[in-house]
Each structure stands twice: as C-alpha cells, then as structure tokens.
Amino acid sequence: MLGTGAASCASRSRFPVISLILDRVTWWIERLLAYAFIAAVTLNFLNVIGRYGFGATLLSADEIQIFIMIFMAFLGAAVVAWRDQHLRMDVLVSMLSPPWRKLVRVAELATIAALACFVLWNSSYYVKQMFIFGRVSDMGGVPMWIPHGAVALGFGLIAFITLLRLCHILTGYPADGGVERESAAP
C-alpha cells in the first residue's frame, strides 16, 4: 500500500513533498520491476519450450533477461535505499552513545553519497557515449544506453536519497526524516 511502512515519512520530514514523491516513485519502480521479473521468467519458460519442444530458440531471450536483471539490481537498490532496509553491520555502532552514533551515520551517509555521485558521473558519461555512437546489443538490437542508463538512474536516486537524509541529520531533524529503523532481532 502506498504511503505506509518505513519509507512513508512525508508528515515527519523536513521535505514532505519530496518524501511523498519518493514514496510514489519507489512504489512504481517496485511494481514495474515485479512485472519485468514476471516477463523474464515467462521469456525463459517460452525459450525452454521452444528449445526442447520445437528445436528453436529466441536468440535475444538471454540478453533481454540480463537487461531486466540489471534494472532489478540497480533500481531495486534505490528502493531499498529509500526504505533504509539495506544490510548494515551495526552491532558495534549500536553500543555507542547517541552523539557518536550520529557521527558514524553522518560519515556513512557522506561516504555513500560520494560513491553514488562518483558512479552516477561515470555511468552517465558512458550512457552518453553509447547514445552518441548508437550502440545496440548484438542479439536483441536493444540500444545499449537503456541498460546502462539503469545504473546511472539507480545511483542517481541513491545519491539523492542519501543527500536528503544527510540534510535531515545536519539540520536537526530526526535521522532519515523521522523514519525509525527497526533493529535486528537478538
């Protein structure tokens, strides 16, 4: 359901409109990726039937499935980043006092933002080159800027989300716009 769960922090956020937009964007990304996954499984199934039942295959099936997985990995990472549900090794950090936890969180967010911006910059350049040269995939004829664009888009969203969270912390709002992270079970 849209607007529920850990990512729904619009009412407690310094930037409620941005948070609401990110809630909706990640909700749509999640659904589109689910449908893409269903399409990839269907394509694989049809290819197996064709290969073993009729001796014919869809030449671009494997390539298209790989492109779908690229979208799932990088756009899915943005959804996970918005929900703040990525894996975290915080056993030692949880034992620190609140000011030290905040310092570690700021350092963590700054590092993630810097790395995401670095990948965004480089992958955007590569996407531009693929577009200019008109490069297409070998079997499916898919323009290569599309799957490479998933990397840029995913890391762009991660950078934006991370910078938004960093703004929350540095301006005195609760970490992550009031979103309480669930601690791991003991």
**84 closest CA partner among 1, 8, 24, 185:** 8
- Tell me whether residue 32 is in a domain: yes
- Tell me whether residue 133 is in a domain: yes
Chain segment 74-106, per-residue pLDDT in tens:
999 999 999 988 888 888 888 888 889 889 999
Chain segment 147-174, per-residue pLDDT in tens:
999 999 999 999 999 999 999 888 886 5
- Tell me whether residue 67 is in a domain: yes
Q: In terms of residue numbers, what domain contains 159? A: 15-87+95-178
- Tell me whether residue 184 is in a domain: no
For residues 143 and 136, is the Cβ–Cβ distance under 8 A? yes
Residue 143, SS3 per DSSP? strand
- Tell me whether residue 142 is in a domain: yes
- Tell me whether residue 69 is in a domain: yes
- Tell me whether residue 7 is in a domain: no
What's the domain count of the chain?
A: 1
- Tell me whether residue 110 is in a domain: yes
Angle at 156 between CA 181 and CA 90, to 5 degrees: 30
For residues 145 and 123, is the Cβ–Cβ distance under 8 A? no
**12 closest CA partner among 162, 183, 176, 182:** 176
